[in-house]
Structure 1
Amino acid sequence: MAFATFQEFFAMGGHAPYVWSAWGLTAVLLLGAVLHARVERRQVLRQLRRRVRREARQAGHAGEAQPIQTSRGRSTNEA
């Protein structure tokens, strides 16, 4: 190992503030990107469900519109 102790490892030869802040910022940005994508996916699916219901009503179909299937095979009509 390049460092004799964990204390030296965490100090990074005097470069710890730069190294650990870079790691932390990278982790925060990756987590933010994942969370943002999940929120947007939910919003798009919600908008699509509304659109399908609205178009079904306008077309004069009786009953509930067909559920939209997600990529995982689940119905999006589940609230």
Structure 2
Amino acid sequence: MQFDSFSSFIAMGGYGMYVWSSMLVTFIGLGALAIEAKWVRRTLKREAQAQQARAQRIQRAKRASTQ
């Protein structure tokens, strides 16, 4: 499909409002998904570090109690 001008491209043959609002909703959803994934990754990383630190403390305590 070829457009004569930029305004006809924006109008999309009378379906411009539907097309551009759909694009906006899609990009907002993808942005929210990316932000949520980053937040979950950060949370999981903190939890893994805390669990590893706890395991190290337990291991040190076991070694100290056997000596």
Give the shorter-chain TM-score range. Answer: 0.7 to 0.9
Structure 2 counterpart of 1:17, which letter?
Answer: M
The one of the two structures with greater contact order (alpha-carbon pairs below 8 A, sep at least 6) is 1
State the superposition RMSD in angstroms: 1.3
TM-score using structure 1 length: 0.71
Greater share of helix: 2
* CA–CA distance in structure 2, aligned partners of residues 40 and 46 of structure 1: 10
Moved over 4 A (4+): none
Structure 1 counterpart of 2:36, which letter?
Answer: H
Q: What does residue 8 of structure 2 align with?
A: 8
Provide structure 2 residue ranges, at least 5 long, that are not aligned to the other structure: 62-67
Report the number of matched residues.
Answer: 61
TM-score using structure 2 length: 0.82
Identity of aligned residues (%): 33
Map 1:1-79 onto structure 2 (within 5 A): 2-60=2-60
